[in-house]
Amino acid sequence: MTTSARELLCDLMPSFPVRHSGQIYTDTTQFMNINYGDVIALKERNFLVLRDEAERRFGLEDPKYWVKRCRELNSGKRFILKLVFHEKFEQKIGPLTINCYRSPKKESRILDLIRGDERFMQGKTVLDEAGNPVRILDVISGKSLDNVVEDIDMDHRTYFHEKFPGILEKFIGSCEGIKYMHDNGERHGDVRRDHIYVEYGTGDYRWIDFDYAYESTENPFGLDLFGLGSILLFITGKGVHDAVSLTSSPSGLEFYSSLSPDDFFLIFSHRVINLRKLFPYIPESLNRVLMHFSQGAYITYETIDEMLPDLRQGLKDVSTL
């Protein structure tokens, strides 16, 4: 029986530098102790830890010490292992405060629900020796939707006519994926533009990260819906248009001063959501979808079923410009 990571690595991955070999972990509770060169042993599978994953937002890198980039020693394939980490925080939507928390068990349920559905990341859950649900995730070769849009080097009008119709069509498919979750009593919990990955080669849009859960006495699916509204705002505007970006020039400052509170997003009150005032060629049907998420909205979407027909009409109108 193998008694050390050094012995295991010499046997299954002789190219790995012996001096970096660490320990074998069958209990992942103390995930901060698990580092490069260690091996996580789950049932009959052994995973060499290469590094901690990190989220990159707003130009900053936020390490996720409970998420490990690994290589399975027997197959040589890359995987991401998500270990158990609990946190709680509050999120505000207008006057509402929603309690959010991480739930590894919820993510495990969703991985079972969406197995084989290419609109989502894929993986399975294995319990370690301490009973922790470790999620073994397939690596998606691609980059996040926000980076894809930001890397398109053209003015907004050209983007809107040449690139946006295809992006909107695929985004509608992503909305249908969230609807599938909701129809089965589940919520994504952390719907953001960097949680849609665009896969290299196929161009498929795939949702990642399902471990956030939240308590809501209003609409149980409301946070997911507002997340979709935020993504729609970003892809339609080819970025965020707010006080910082608009007031950097005299003409932008004049435009910004002419806006009313109703023209701004309910969640991020500094972001302009009435994009038709910025880009008059945006069809009214699509702008109307955005305005359901504005501070001045009289009617908000209660379900994705309500939003999807409006999005499809917006796509139809965009495609015929």
The CATH number of residue 158's host domain is 1.10.510.10
**Backbone dihedral region of 238: left (phi > 0), alpha (psi from -120 to 50 degrees) or beta?**
left
pLDDT in tens, the chain (321 residues): 457 899 999 999 999 998 899 999 999 999 999 999 999 999 989 999 999 998 776 566 778 999 999 999 999 999 999 999 998 888 776 667 788 899 999 999 999 999 999 999 999 999 999 999 999 999 999 999 999 999 999 999 999 999 999 999 999 999 999 999 999 999 999 999 999 999 999 999 999 999 999 876 677 898 899 999 999 999 999 999 998 888 888 888 888 899 999 999 998 889 999 999 999 999 999 999 999 999 999 888 999 999 999 999 999 999 998
- Our CA angle for 101, 135, 45, nearest 5°, is 155
The answer to whether residues 213 and 108 touch, using CB atoms and an 8 Å cutoff, is no
Residue 123 lies in a domain: no
> What is the edge-to-edge ordering of all strands in the sheet holding 142-144?
142-144, 196-199, 205-207
Q: CA–CA separation, 146 vs 158, rounded Å?
A: 18
Q: Taking the model in full, what pTM does it have? A: 0.94
Residues 200 and 299 reside in one and the same domain: yes
pLDDT tens digits for 112-143? 999 999 999 999 999 999 999 999 999 999 99
Residue 45 lies in a domain: yes
Residues 165 and 287 reside in one and the same domain: yes
Residues 181 and 306 reside in one and the same domain: yes
Residues 62 and 146 reside in one and the same domain: no
Residues 10 and 146 reside in one and the same domain: no
Task: Estimate to the nearest angstrom the gap between the alpha carbon of 100 and the chain centroid.
Answer: 16
Q: Which two tokens stand for residue 22?
A: 């660490």
Please, which residues bridge with residue 133 across strands?
127
End-to-end CA distance of the chain: 68
List the domain range (segments joined by +) for residue 203: 142-319
